[in-house]
Amino acid sequence: MTLKYPNGKAYNKQTLTTARSRHTSNKQRGMTLEEDINTTIKYYREAGRALIHKKPVPIQVVNVNYPSRSRAKITEAYFRQPSTTDYHGIYRGRSIDFEAKETHSKTSFPFKNIHPHQVEHLKSVEAHGGIGCLIIGFDSSQEIYLVPASIFIPKYEDQSQRKSLSIDLVRNEGVFIERSYAPPLKVLEAIDTLYF
């Protein structure tokens, strides 16, 4: 039996592997995790399990090139303000905010991967009774974890010892996010383990 995609093309494992490795180049770093999370939160919304959205990036468009009406291209834009976290919403009656990050490091998640204003935002979310967390993807081991802000923030604020979260700490204090078919990532199950 030959497996075919809806467009009629045959499934080819080599083509899929090549496309996946090309997709996860340095230029596209973080996009695979982000795409999986976007698909996951859409699945949750449509299933009525949670209302989570990716926040739009606040930009101010300054210049647009119009070679033709159908091919308008933004040529100059600026960030209006620093964005907070990537995702926000409501789950089981509680506000939820999280930032998704990937790292190529095999041993740790460097603090330089997250901005101070994002840390402050997560701190505020938790102070007001919301769920604030990081979703960290380790490219080398293909492991993804949910780490609560209450674990991450004290380590971030005291960088006298380390300037990163060790993978051992993430494995011990965070919750492993399993991959599945639908949704691609079991994010809500990880949140349930930590918060409910």
Domains in the chain: boundaries: 29-195
Q: Say if domain 29-195 classifies as CATH 3.40.1380.20.
A: no
Global pTM exceeds 0.85: no
Return per-residue pLDDT of the chain as tens, 196 residues: 455 455 455 555 554 444 444 444 444 444 589 999 999 999 999 999 999 999 877 677 778 888 777 788 888 877 665 668 889 999 999 999 999 999 999 999 999 999 999 999 999 999 999 999 999 999 989 999 999 999 999 999 988 888 999 999 999 999 999 999 989 999 999 999 999 9
3-state secondary structure string, the chain? CCCECCCCCECCHHHHHHHHHHHCCHHHCCHHHHHHHHHHHHHHHHHCCCEEEECCCCEEEEEEECCCHHHCEEEEEEECCCCCCCEEEEECCEEEEEEEEEECCCCEEEHHHCCHHHHHHHHHHHHCCCEEEEEEEECCCCEEEEEEHHHHHHHHHCCCCCCEEEHHHHHHHCEECCECCCCCECHHHHHHHHHC
